Amino acid sequence: MTIPDKIEQQQFDELLKYISVEKQKRVKQHKRPQNALQIITADILIRSIVHKKFKIKNSNIDFKTNEYGKPYLPGFSEFHFNISHSRKWVVCAVDNMPIGIDVEFIRPINFDIARKFFSHTEYNDLFSKSDSERLEYFYELWTLKESYIKAAGKGMAIPLNSFSIQIINGKITIESQTQFTDYYFRKYDIDVNYKLAVCAKNNLFPDNIIHKSFDQLFEEINK
Ligand SMILES: CC(C)(COP(=O)(O)OP(=O)(O)OC[C@H]1O[C@@H](n2cnc3c(N)ncnc32)[C@H](O)[C@@H]1OP(=O)(O)O)[C@@H](O)C(=O)NCCC(=O)NCCS
């Protein structure tokens, strides 16, 4: 889903009431209103899904995080979810096995960053691309890599250059000497200016994404 460019302070204060006190504190530390709104919207999005699926009242939904910060719903070991946000997009993926998702806005970058975060294979693949393809490919790899570390739930505790992702004829593979790599990947097109990747233990990706409007979200959580 996409978030509005701007909302009134009164509506912002209303939205805050849907999320935990802890998260409210985090949100208030953000100086940029867009970042704050992303975090609130992502939280309400997953709350609306939990509310609909398990018929739990929003006020009784209490997410916890693992030691690396990955949120989960205690008591529902077969419910896995992950969220991501970048600029105007807020995305979420759910499954009955571990899952990770990453969305990134495509902006010009200094490719030196790839030397630091990408494996040799990834770096070589990146530089085998033409100048015009390179930026898009960088973001494809970046989102795939992030979706993997988010699915594995260990965040940056998995060094980004400790595994390699390759996209060959549209097939996405992962290889690592040090990590478990029994994960599957899929890229989705949501917006020409963004890249979106999902990584999951299950190889059961839907072909289509469900788009929700901002208003729909609140209708659903208040049902
Ligand atoms: C978790 C992490 C991967 C978040 O990545 P991000 O792209 O900054 O942020 P996203 O919007 O995709 O995801 C944020 C959400 O991930 C979830 N999350 C937090 N820790 C997580 C973890 N260990 N595993 C999975 N998900 C996690 C939270 O729900 C969080 O939402 P919130 O911020 O609204 O509470 C983080 O570890 C990170 O700092 N990444 C570093 C970025 C980097 O250097 N990338 C180089 C890639 S080549």
72 and 150 inside one domain: no
194 and 217 inside one domain: no
45-51 average pLDDT score? 97
Q: The CATH number of the domain where 42 resides is what? A: 3.90.470.20
113 and 194 inside one domain: yes
* pLDDT tens for each residue of 98-114: 999 999 999 999 999 99
Residue nearest to atom 14 of ligand 1 (CA): 84
Ligand 1 contact, 83 CB (< 6 A): yes
161-177 average pLDDT score? 95
Can you count the helices (H) and strands (E) in the chain?
7, 9
Tokens of 123: 């770096």
**2, part of any domain:** no
Q: Which of 177, 111, 121, 173 is nearest to 144 (CA)?
A: 173
Give Cα separations from 148 to 28, 75, 139, 144 (angstroms).
29, 24, 14, 6
Which residues lie closer than 8 Å to 62 by C-beta, 6 or more apart?
20, 74
* pLDDT tens for each residue of 68-84: 999 999 999 999 999 99
**206, part of any domain:** no
| Confidence grade of residue 222 (pLDDT, cut at 50, 70, 90) | confident
49 and 131 inside one domain: no
| Confidence grade of residue 150 (pLDDT, cut at 50, 70, 90) | very high
Question: Residue 31 has what pLDDT?
Answer: 85
Q: Residue 84 corresponds to which amino acid?
A: S
Question: Residue 176 has what pLDDT?
Answer: 93
134 and 55 inside one domain: no
131 and 160 inside one domain: yes
Q: Measured between alpha carbons, how far is 70 from 83 in angstroms, rounded to an integer?
A: 10
SS3 20: coil
SS3 108: coil
74 and 132 inside one domain: no
* pLDDT tens for each residue of 8-27: 999 999 999 999 999 999 99
Ligand 1 contact, 68 CB (< 6 A): yes
100 C-alpha to ligand 1 centroid (Å): 10
**Helices of type H across 153-221:** 214-221
Contact, 81 vs 64, CB < 8 A?
Answer: no
Q: Measured between alpha carbons, how far is 18 from 5 in angstroms, rounded to an integer?
A: 20
40-51 average pLDDT score? 97
**91, part of any domain:** no
191 and 118 inside one domain: yes
26 and 105 inside one domain: no
Any idea which of 140-144, 183-187, 200-204, 218-222 has the lowest mean pLDDT?
218-222
Ligand 1 contact, 80 CB (< 6 A): no
Q: Which range of residues forms the domain containing residue 72? A: 9-83+211-221
**Helices of type H across 71-201:** 112-117, 120-128, 131-152
43-69 average pLDDT score? 97
**28, part of any domain:** yes
149 C-alpha to ligand 1 centroid (Å): 9
**53, part of any domain:** yes
pLDDT, averaged across the chain: 95
37-63 average pLDDT score? 96
Give yes or no for residue 220 having a pLDDT over 90: no
37 and 121 inside one domain: no
155 C-alpha to ligand 1 centroid (Å): 7
**93, part of any domain:** no
Q: Based on the structure, what is the number of domains in the chain?
A: 2
113 and 189 inside one domain: yes
Tokens of 142: 């970046």
106 and 196 inside one domain: yes
> Given the CA of residue 68, which atom of ligand 1 is nearest to it?
23
